[in-house]
Amino acid sequence: MQEEFTHRDALAALNAKELGDLKETRDPPGLLHLASHVLMLCITGSLVLWSVDPALKILAMTLHGIVLSSLFALEHESIHGTAFRSPWLNAIAAEVSGFLLLLPPRHFRFFHFAHHRHTQDPAHDPELASPKPSDWRGYLWHLSGIPYWRAEIAVLLNNALGRKVPDFVPANARGKLVLEARLHLAAMAALAVAGFAFDWTWILTLWVIPALLGQPFLRAYLMAEHGACPLVANMLANSRTTYTNRIIRFLAWNMPFHSAHHALPTVPFHRLPELNRHLSARLKVTARGYGEAHRQIRAAWATSTAADKSTP
């Protein structure tokens, strides 16, 4: 029987110069992308402030929330050290975006790197620690974003108290996670007090409410990365590449090319389309848009249910 072609085989087909070029990080692409993302936030934020009609204001806050929640992609790139060449730029970007999304970057880095080491391994991938939706009720509950907020608040509080620290966090890093959580909570408390004292309604209208409204869109996007993908080690099979429009690719910092990212995580976002071209013929799980990706995920429920029924 012929052995399966894996991401390692695909990467081995590239010469050293091609790999070196793909992995080269640079500041200008990241700064340009960040400036464009911030400009979009300014535009959507202005729409929120200018909207008078309640329905239009909610629509504007939802749009602003989508762009705001997409800062997850910036934090993701920054913890990989690939958003920019300069470490200090990556550090600042990760800190700011992590604070806005209630996702402290040091904790997220350990969580995410464990996910990369053990992608789709039920015993070790922290993304599989909680059961994935297998019916409409669980699916809609997951997309609501409520489980995310509950989990992240619990992580912040547990880290601040130094308890229930996950196994993927090294013992010598736990003190830093405690300090990180306490600083985040202190900053949030200070903002809350200042908001009440100075009537800063923008905290709600430009941050808190949009973050709540935008989170379901981020959940839907993230679910497509590995949802209903095989539980195997081959990155060409355990991650989904979603071919989507330029706006979503922009907001997601090219992460819809997710198989390529997992195959070689050191490739910066602006080179992922090129890496994807090298891998595209060998990809096992792809979708033409997020509608198709979610149809694939929902179709897998029936397969999973049938397998459960057939298990003695």
Q: Is residue 312 scored above 60 in pLDDT?
A: no
pLDDT in tens, 218-276: 999 999 999 999 999 999 999 999 999 999 999 999 999 999 999 999 999 999 999 99
% of the chain surpassing 70 pLDDT: 96
pLDDT at 307: 46
Q: Rounded to two decimals, what is the model's pTM?
A: 0.94
Residues 6+ apart with CB under 8 A from 294: 220, 223, 224, 227
Q: DSSP 3-state assignment of 110?
A: helix
Which tokens belong to 143?
A: 């997309």
Q: How far apart are CA 98 and CA 104, in angstroms?
A: 5
Instruction: Name which of 65-69, 159-163, 164-168, 255-259 the model is least confident about.
Output: 164-168
Residue 43 in any domain: the answer is: yes
Within-domain flag for 17? no
Residue 11 lies in a domain: no
Number of compact structural domains in the chain: 1
Contact 156, 104 (CB under 8 A): yes
In a domain, 5, yes or no: no
Residue 15, domain member (yes or no): no
Whole-number pLDDT of residue 47 = 98
> DSSP labels for 218-266?
HHHHHHHHHTT--SSS-TTTSS-EEE--HHHHHHTTTTTBHHHHHH-TT
1 has a pLDDT exceeding 50: no
Structure tokens at 161: 């108290």
Residue 3: band (very low, low, confident or very high) from pLDDT cuts 50, 70, 90:
low
In percent, the amount of the chain with pLDDT more than 90 equals: 92
Residues 6+ positions from 291 with CB-CB distance below 8 Å: none
- pLDDT of 5 higher than 70: yes
Q: What is the mean pLDDT of the chain?
A: 94
Q: Which of 3-7, 156-160, 269-273, 284-288 has the lowest mean pLDDT?
A: 3-7
> Does residue 14 lie in a domain region?
no
Q: Is the pLDDT of residue 4 over 90?
A: no
Distance CA 151, CA 196 (A): 26
Asked if the structure places residue 308 within a domain, the reply is no
Long-range contacts of 230-233 (CB under 8 A, 24+ apart): 230/120, 230/284, 230/285, 231/120, 231/121, 231/122, 232/120, 233/6, 233/119, 233/120, 233/121
Question: What pLDDT, in 10s, does the model give residues 42-82?
Answer: 999 999 999 999 999 999 999 999 999 999 999 999 999 99
The answer to the question of residue 146 being in a domain is: yes
Q: DSSP for 237-249, please give it.
A: TSS-EEE--HHHH
Q: Domain span at residue 156?
A: 27-303
pLDDT of amino acid 303: 72
Q: 27: Cβ–Cβ under 8 A, 6 or more apart, which residues? A: 84, 85, 86, 89
Q: How far is CA 54 from the centre of its chain?
A: 30
pLDDT band at 2 (very low <50, low <70, confident <90, very high): low
